[in-house]
Structure 1
Amino acid sequence: MERIEVTHTASLHAPHPGLGDTLTLQDKAHVGGEGAVYFTTDGRHALKVFHQQHPGLEQHLTRIMDRLRILTDEQERFILPPLALLNRFDGQPRQGFVMRRVPPRYQEAINLILGPEQAAAQFQRGRTWGSYLLAARSIANSIVVLHAMGFAHSDIHYKNFLVDINEGDAVMMEADGIVTPGYSKARVAGLKGFMAPEILTRGAEPSEKTDRHSLAVLALHTLLFRNPLEPLIEYADDPQESDRLGWGAQALFSEHPGNPSHRPANLGRPLYKRGVLSYRMLTPELQQLAERAVLETGLHDPASRPAAKEWRDALAKSIDQLLNCPHCGQHFPYPHWLDPPPRRACPFCGQRCQRPLPAVISLLEERRTGNFTPIRRKLVLGNGSNIFADMTEPHRFPPRSRTSTKPIGHVEWDPRGAYRIVNDGNTTWISITNSASTPRASVLQGSQRLSATSGQSIPLNAHALIRFGPDQRAAVVDDPGG
């Protein structure tokens, strides 16, 4: 006999335009602690149905839904806003809300943000660390969107994000965990390990400042494949009290220079040699954010924690500092900040960076005529590296993907021992070099001037300032490589 699939029906109120007031849902549900999630038979939406009635929940969800109606399409990429509230489920009064369905290729982040050994196994099957960097950027973007709307979240951790690791995309689930500080109370305390210490020590309510802690921990967990605050010693005979102290009053950064109590074994050893990644493999800007968040005063002083926007921007700018290891094929931040150069090595396989070493340039923007200011964005350029418009046009960050973007230039290694940057665009590039190192603001007075129109190239000489055309960014060559 033909099997008849059992379905459910849901009636809604306050639906978004085009959604309708009735949904037909598949029988199979994803059941969690608070509720069950059903997918619509057309595969476009999901419905969360709470197991129990919660006083005030409908008003809380209505406030969230009304505020999030103004999200742009770009903002909605990172968050799942409520699109309607549930009125009845199979004819019975129930509480819940509708959201769009994320494509099946997305997985819960907890299944992807692995421990060091599991991550190494995934990498050796072809996955790249750069995808995790993109995922961390997407996670930070979701928190930026929340904070821009005046919201905070009571439950930021790796179970509440769906990730497409092949594309580096991430989207936040659990809109019911959103709170409005000073207006609505949190329904859950959060997940131990990601909660800010003050929640455990004095019962602080979720806020932007507690979110800053949770985001820092989650971002570092995503990049290093371990919780940077995990306690490695016991603080009390009772396990629950020990946990409360270890994540709360006694919280300690695993790489604290003066206290090794939480320092994992094999820290800094290459990952593929049973090592543990150190935060010092990250770009200097990300290292500084980590120190502000979990090493210095930020751990117990919420006001000094980096904002979500700082994490988002630093993660975005890190994309163009990745190097592809010729030995193991892994992507990693090229450690241009380490001197002498022989110290620079792949954190995954341990292979020393081989010559010719890549060049490193810092981007500048013109604040006043002839006066350029660093924007804390560096490019690591090796043979074959491309130059894109988002690198040269003011006020732009790296996009999510450049797959369909045409380069405006590229870099070639001159066998005579230097890198040259080739102009593939339609503006004239100019290189200005002094005979000695010159302050960036006055380097326009340099004594040597070279230009390159389309198809021509200019050398990446040390301390040279390169102008990419009128009203465009400039760049100073920090390290000519080679």
Structure 2
Amino acid sequence: MSIITVKSSLTGNSYQYVDNGDPKSGTAKDVYFSPDRKYVVAIFKEKQDFNQKERLTKIVTKYLHQIENKEAGKYYLDEIYRWPTDIIESNNKVGIIVPIYNSKFFFSKGYSSSDLIKGEEKNGKWFAAAKFRNRQFPLSLDQTELGRWLNYFQIGVNLARGVKKMHQMGLSHSDLSYNNVLIDPSTGSACMIDLDGLVVPGIFQAEVIGTADFIAPEVLATKHLDKTDPARKLPNRLTDLHALACLIYMYLLHRHPLKGGKVHDLDTEKDDLLSMGEKALFIEHPTDLSNRPKLNQVSKWDTYWADVNKIPYTITGPYLKALFDKAFIDGLHHPMQRPTAEEWEIALLKTTDLMQQCSNIYCEQKWYVFDNTSIPKCPFCGTSHKGTLPILDLYYQFQPSVWKPENHRLMVYNNQYLFQWHVDRNVIRNEKLTAEQKVPVGYFTFHEGKWVLVNQKLTSLVDKTEEKEIPIGSMVELTHGKKLLLSKEDGGRVILVTLANQ
């Protein structure tokens, strides 16, 4: 074992790595740890040409500085990306310096039956597949590693933000898949890795067409054409949006949106190409049922999640259903119609406001999206909601004395919080929120047989039904038809209470 020192010609900085003769080896790079394990040195196996070096230089200078110097830069660099920070040369080969992954992205337990993958990276594919969640599967993951269903919505939010930021900078990922995303379901965290192949339109083309399962249909359908053929479709911003939709669908429903029971060709290779490319069809298409998964053809470990009749995509709620339709019906073969990353972010966040806790302590998912029925029940275990259920619909002032529904509602459960972004239309729930804006302004609780809102910080909370102020430190009962003005400030919303399940 030896410690090698290398230098950057860009910054003049020196770096060290430990060479034990057995680096972590990927497709394109060999990865070595620094002695203090604060960063890795990833050395490309192939010689990098001028264009490739130029791309890497731009990534570690121009684009890194663009993230650092903008709002929420720290959030992106600490939480969402493992962004390369420098370039080195070692034995005539080019390498990059990348900060080490956060410890939460390594398995602390791994399999429920053995420690075989303890300490390994939490590659996203472990959590997209159904079989690793099935307790009967010999290599199922330990329950502590799987997180709750609610956490996968936050994972989706983080991925959507990561793609949104790249697209805002004029970059595209080109190979977004579960292989270059690490996730931690127990905290809802997600981190994009392998960011040295980003596409800069007009300057650096994609070097790969992507990873199977995540390649957009138009890329697969034209991959036989020459790269110079104008009809050839290469990875770009719109193909990222297909991959993002696939990832979100797979993390929430643990099945692939296009891999169903329809056979296009008896030659497996040709069939794969058609079913994911030219003939791609959403497995839950509402009118063309020909690609529904056939349960007698899927692995016995996957049948629970593969059953689209028992666990349909509609359980993800109305906002996400609309986007899955846009992604896998309207936009599947018409890339311009795919939802943007920001649309996914907004829909995922609004859906978390529709969440209910399942009262069944043995339910593996623990949470579900309110289904707008009079007697809601958990789609995973079938447990019906017990007791009354307050539903708060948000209204905004369209013009003086005219209030319109926001198409946004907040479901109440015991110790659910009310935040500034619910109260004030001018506070947008995104990565730019300040620490102060993340502090709850009130909370809901079931007190002496009644649902109440406890005012913690709202200076102008008014019960419009009773026309009386609700001072800080006091509470107001949530009764059917009650109207509450959350703030008298410009942008302040009104909530209308509906009591379901009475």
TM-score bin (small chain): 0.7 to 0.9
Q: Compute the displacement of 1:475 (Å).
A: 3.4
Q: Does the 8 Å CA contact 2:420/2:437 hold for their aligned counterparts?
A: no
Equivalent of 1:457, from 437, 450, 475? Answer: 475
- The equivalent residue for 2:168 is 148
Q: Compute the displacement of 1:372 (Å).
A: 4.2
What TM-score do you get using the length of structure 2 for normalisation?
0.82
- The equivalent residue for 1:115 is 129
* Corresponding position: 1:362 with 2:393: yes
- The equivalent residue for 1:432 is 464
- The equivalent residue for 2:82 is 80
Structure 2 CA distance for partners of 1:198 and 1:163, relative to 1, 3 Å: same
Q: Compute the displacement of 1:168 (Å).
A: 1.1
Q: Compute the displacement of 1:406 (Å).
A: 5.1
Aligned residues: 448
Give the distance between the partners of 1:123 and 1:284, measured in 2 at CA. Answer: 31
* Corresponding position: 1:63 with 2:94: no
- The equivalent residue for 1:103 is 102
- The equivalent residue for 2:341 is 308
What is the identity, as a one-letter code, of the residue corresponding to 2:46? Q
Give the distance between the partners of 1:403 and 1:187, measured in 2 at CA. Answer: 43
Structure 2 CA distance for partners of 1:449 and 1:266, relative to 1, 3 Å: farther
Q: Could you give the per-residue CA deviations for residues 182-216 of structure 1, whole angstroms, max 9, x where no partner exists?
A: 22111111012111100011241122111111111
Give the distance between the partners of 2:428 and 2:142, measured in 1 at CA. Answer: 31
Q: Does the 8 Å CA contact 2:483/2:497 hold for their aligned counterparts?
A: no
Q: Compute the displacement of 1:355 (Å).
A: 2.2
* Corresponding position: 1:187 with 2:183: no
Q: Could you give the per-residue CA deviations for residues 311-347 of structure 1, whole angstroms, max 9, x where no partner exists?
A: 011112222222111113533333242x3x23x3212
Equivalent of 1:253, from 273, 282, 293? Answer: 282
Equivalent of 1:381, from 397, 400, 412? Answer: 412
Structure 2 CA distance for partners of 1:459 and 1:263, relative to 1, 3 Å: same
* Corresponding position: 1:230 with 2:259: yes
DSSP-derived class of the 1:140 partner? helix
* Corresponding position: 1:332 with 2:367: yes
- The equivalent residue for 1:423 is 455
Give the distance between the partners of 1:451 and 1:254, measured in 2 at CA. Answer: 52
Q: Compute the displacement of 1:463 (Å).
A: 4.0
Structure 2 CA distance for partners of 1:273 and 1:473, relative to 1, 3 Å: farther
Which aligned pairs between 1:212-291 and structure 2 lie closer than 5 A? 212-265=241-294, 274-276=304-306, 277-291=311-325
* Corresponding position: 1:13 with 2:9: yes
Q: Does the 8 Å CA contact 1:78/1:142 hold for their aligned counterparts?
A: yes
What is the identity, as a one-letter code, of the residue corresponding to 1:314? A
What is the identity, as a one-letter code, of the residue corresponding to 1:80? R
User: For structure 1, which segment, 101-110 or 146-155, has the greater mean C-alpha deviation from structure 2 after superposition?
Assistant: 101-110
DSSP-derived class of the 1:235 partner? coil
- The equivalent residue for 2:17 is 25
- The equivalent residue for 1:205 is 234
Q: Does the 8 Å CA contact 1:45/1:98 hold for their aligned counterparts?
A: yes
Q: Compute the displacement of 1:237 (Å).
A: 2.6
DSSP-derived class of the 2:66 partner? coil
- The equivalent residue for 1:136 is 156
Structure 2 CA distance for partners of 1:6 and 1:398, relative to 1, 3 Å: same
Structure 2 CA distance for partners of 1:47 and 1:123, relative to 1, 3 Å: closer
Q: Could you give the per-residue CA deviations for residues 126-147 of structure 1, whole angstroms, max 9, x where no partner exists?
A: 7311121111111111101100
Q: Compute the displacement of 1:8 (Å).
A: 2.6
Structure 2 CA distance for partners of 1:47 and 1:451, relative to 1, 3 Å: same
Give the distance between the partners of 1:60 and 1:428, measured in 2 at CA. Answer: 53
Which consecutive residues of structure 1, in runs of 5 or more, have no partner in the other structure?
434-447
Q: Does the 8 Å CA contact 1:117/1:274 hold for their aligned counterparts?
A: no
User: For structure 1, which segment, 47-56 or 111-120, has the greater mean C-alpha deviation from structure 2 after superposition?
Assistant: 111-120
Structure 2 CA distance for partners of 1:230 and 1:334, relative to 1, 3 Å: same
What is the identity, as a one-letter code, of the residue corresponding to 1:280? T
DSSP-derived class of the 1:249 partner? coil
What is the identity, as a one-letter code, of the residue corresponding to 2:368? P
* Corresponding position: 1:47 with 2:41: yes
- The equivalent residue for 1:443 is none
* Corresponding position: 1:397 with 2:429: yes
Give the distance between the partners of 2:302 and 2:37, measured in 1 at CA. Answer: 40
